[in-house]
Chain A
């Protein structure tokens, strides 16, 4: 029995016996970016084993979902893991380059791409138990038999990758540079930066962890990169299309007004200019945001609602009755003050109050246990994608100065990366830089 760090996702046991892995995977291929959650009773495989334990991983349809890594003709250009409906768990890791040789980096990107292509199909990276007694299997094995579990791994390039010593300066995406110092930055150096990033997301934490572990081994084996910082996350804290809006660790729904439609992604997320190899890419901002959990938990409910500008249980804006009601930022109460206060989080971050600026949020909750003085050490691994980092910067300048939520959070980690488009089969991410 595998160990799960967090409560396992709910399992629709009634449907389980009607599912076959093959049917689901074929469904995924046909459905492109869409999840392949369709009962496969009609295509039940004759060789199907007896119905599994309804509480087992095998009976959980989410474990059988797979997404394509490679770009297909006419398919989306972007890497998976951005527009993909957020999976339940993430494992993020950033790396420092440890080579000055562009060929070594080239090998790393090609081997990472090949390995990710396998992992996203639920396959191992080579044999787990090689036949030769002296062999050391590359794949560490802990995800064997768990299935693809909706795994996506998204590769990001940090500003430091485009260094002159590697001869890559000319390829730097136009807007990729270190984030400026922003109000309320309180970084710990052990949670910042990186020349490369890997964002693994999956419906199972062990599958996400395993992917990063294998890929970190490849980084060390090629000698191209060494680990820098990492964060595991759970309880997807940003809604994707068709998903019930999840909650962050403040107990509030997060992502009610997130980007969902293709037209919105085209306008706000994907890079549409520059060299061809960058089009369909995006800028990834990662922030480790610590929450002052104890203070928050002891704040009165009316104040909590005022901090967000929403009702805690329903998610409705304070000016409405249902979650998706459009907030009325002009409505005033009997005292003449705005019903959604001046410094409420949803007002400060709304596109109405930011000249239409919007970003895709794809965050996860995290916990690191207890801090040195015995407080719950937890927060949000904030991940956003945008076609211009200035959009994040604009929002964060407000967040760090005037947002009521600022009293309860501290940005302790940060990184910025460019996520190039997905490669075609037979190629790898970033290949165009080495052509």
Chain B
């Protein structure tokens, strides 16, 4: 039996849990196998401050189904299968009174832990004997592939932003207001898709708190948050000229040239960035925060009112980041993955109603009247996406 294998590195918590399990004399016989799948029943009870009880504490290598029932533990709402603090599978929404829920994982021989947050004894040891072939790469491998794919997406987006910014500059240099307005709306979405990944960049030689070297400040600062020492630069200063003042001056041309220069710097810095899986998750969550704080309120595009263009771009960026995590997430928590996909679909479906190919940027103008009528509906849909999406960083950061 591998149960007494002490050569593995155990956290203090795990070691304690193992002692407790031995002391309470949990069943030592391996789990029964039905149709080639080992069957483990896990019961969450409120006894002794909350406990997570397995009917068998070992199984043969291969597919294992955990059937989880919360009989009386209000404090325990989730359960994870871990190996050395890496999450291999999990189940959420385990409130008392709900029908049993299941998850199946293929496990190789070794020591595992069942982790039930908020149980008095929150970790229970579980042992798998023998060896099993995994059909696909590990969750960590899938997530790593995802981060590599996402890095290419960011690179491509910043490249496209540079092209669109140069086009905007050309229209401004030509003094063509109508074309410049259209090109402004075309350039905006690129930044909005990836802004949570690039907003931390500080140019070499500047202190992190100095806005003069903060690329996000120089590219995307809104009128409401200006640093008087540095002045107004970037997209929104140009937006003000094009949509409020409705004229192109030499100051506008100067701003456009400066914007191109800063986006060029951004493009160089974004190249070769590496991302951890939780960066994608946190980035996606950050883009939704942007929607909630800047777009729903109509603050982002105060002069052009193309907030819905930015809104759609934030969603697209968040959806892309999530899509690159999805293969790994499907192994960790398929229910949550499906939930998030469904919520994205709801938001995207809602945005479709606002599409207008004739409008600037392809979406209807977000007028104060439209905001008054629709902001609540849009915000509610985003809130219902934010909550589950915010949960995935923890999962992918600790995935095995």
Q: Is A126 within 8 A of B117, CB to CB? A: yes
Q: Closest residue of chain A to B278, judged by CB? A: A134
Which chain A residues border B397 with CB–CB below 8 Å?
132-134
A217 and B390 CA atoms in complex are apart in Å by: 12
Q: Is A114 within 8 A of B95, CB to CB? A: yes
Option from A98, A106, A425 in Cβ contact (under 8 Å) with B98: A106
Q: Is B384 within 8 A of A115, CB to CB? A: no
| B282: interface (CB < 8 Å) | yes
Q: Is A111 within 8 A of B97, CB to CB? A: no
Which chain A residues border B118 with CB–CB below 8 Å?
126-127
Interface residue tally on A, bucketed by range? 20 to 34
Distance in angstroms from A11 CB to nearest chain B CB is 31
Option from B74, B343, B387, B390 in Cβ contact (under 8 Å) with A117: B74
Distance in angstroms from B379 CB to nearest chain A CB is 9
Q: Is A111 within 8 A of B77, CB to CB? A: yes
| A192: interface (CB < 8 Å) | no
Q: Is B75 within 8 A of A423, CB to CB? A: no
Contacts known (A127-B117, A217-B387); A110 close to B398, Cβ less than 8 A = no
Q: Closest residue of chain B to A227, judged by CB? A: B380
A431 and B98 CA atoms in complex are apart in Å by: 8
| A34: interface (CB < 8 Å) | no
Which chain B residues border A227 with CB–CB below 8 Å?
380
| B231: interface (CB < 8 Å) | no
| B247: interface (CB < 8 Å) | no
The total of interchain contacts (Cβ-Cβ below 8 angstroms) comes to: 86
Q: Is A423 within 8 A of B97, CB to CB? A: yes
| A169: interface (CB < 8 Å) | no
Q: Is B282 within 8 A of A134, CB to CB? A: yes
A16-24, A218-226, A318-326: which lies at the interface: A218-226
Which chain A residues border B282 with CB–CB below 8 Å?
134
Contacts known (A111-B95, A118-B74, A428-B97); A136 close to B117, Cβ less than 8 A = no
Contacts known (A114-B77, A126-B117); A221 close to B387, Cβ less than 8 A = yes
Distance in angstroms from B113 CB to nearest chain A CB is 14
Q: Closest residue of chain A to B396, judged by CB? A: A134
Interface centre among A134, A223, A227, A425 (most CB of B within 10 A): A134
A110 and B98 CA atoms in complex are apart in Å by: 7
Which chain B residues border A98 with CB–CB below 8 Å?
380, 384
Option from A115, A134, A223, A426 in Cβ contact (under 8 Å) with B394: A134
| B281: interface (CB < 8 Å) | yes
| A123: interface (CB < 8 Å) | yes
A114 and B118 CA atoms in complex are apart in Å by: 13
Q: Is B97 within 8 A of A427, CB to CB? A: yes
Q: Is B388 within 8 A of A223, CB to CB? A: yes
| B30: interface (CB < 8 Å) | no
Contact indicator per residue, chain B 91-132, by CB within 8 Å of chain A (1) or not (0): 001011110000000000000000001100000000000000
Q: Is B394 within 8 A of A132, CB to CB? A: yes
| B296: interface (CB < 8 Å) | no
Distance in angstroms from B369 CB to nearest chain A CB is 16
| B244: interface (CB < 8 Å) | no
A396 and B218 CA atoms in complex are apart in Å by: 61
| B72: interface (CB < 8 Å) | yes
Q: Closest residue of chain B to A98, judged by CB? A: B384
Which chain B residues border A132 with CB–CB below 8 Å?
394, 397-398
Contacts known (A134-B394, A221-B388, A425-B46); A110 close to B95, Cβ less than 8 A = yes
| B386: interface (CB < 8 Å) | yes
In the complex, which residues 93-141 of chain A have their Cβ closer than 8 Å to any Cβ of chain B?
Answer: 98, 106-107, 110-111, 113-115, 117-118, 123, 126-127, 130, 132-136
Distance in angstroms from B392 CB to nearest chain A CB is 9
Q: Is A110 within 8 A of B97, CB to CB? A: yes
Which chain B residues border A222 with CB–CB below 8 Å?
93
Which chain A residues border B398 with CB–CB below 8 Å?
132, 134
Which chain A residues border B383 with CB–CB below 8 Å?
220, 226
A98 and B98 CA atoms in complex are apart in Å by: 20
Q: Is A220 within 8 A of B95, CB to CB? A: no
Which chain A residues border B75 with CB–CB below 8 Å?
114, 118, 123, 126
Interface centre among A106, A110, A217, A428 (most CB of B within 10 A): A110
Q: Is B95 within 8 A of A136, CB to CB? A: no
Contacts known (A126-B77, A127-B118, A223-B343); A113 close to B380, Cβ less than 8 A = no
Distance in angstroms from A159 CB to nearest chain B CB is 20
Distance in angstroms from B344 CB to nearest chain A CB is 12
Which chain B residues border A127 with CB–CB below 8 Å?
117-118
| A→B interface (CB under 8 Å) | 98, 106-107, 110-111, 113-115, 117-118, 123, 126-127, 130, 132-136, 217, 220-223, 226-227, 423, 425-428, 431
Contacts A134-B393, A425-B72 aside, 20 further interface pairs with beta carbons under 8 A come to: A98-B384, A110-B95, A110-B97, A111-B95, A114-B74, A114-B75, A118-B74, A118-B75, A126-B117, A130-B117, A130-B394, A132-B394, A134-B394, A220-B387, A222-B93, A223-B339, A226-B383, A426-B71, A426-B96, A428-B97
Show 13 residue pairs from A and B whose CB-CB distance is below 8 angstroms, ordered by the A residue: A110-B98, A111-B95, A113-B95, A113-B96, A126-B77, A127-B118, A130-B394, A134-B282, A136-B394, A221-B387, A221-B388, A425-B46, A426-B71
State the 6 A-B residue pairs at the shortest beta-carbon distance, nearest first.
A110-B95, A114-B74, A221-B387, A427-B97, A134-B393, A226-B380
| B→A interface (CB under 8 Å) | 46, 71-72, 74-75, 77, 93, 95-98, 117-118, 278, 281-282, 339, 342-343, 380, 383-384, 386-388, 390-391, 393-394, 397-398
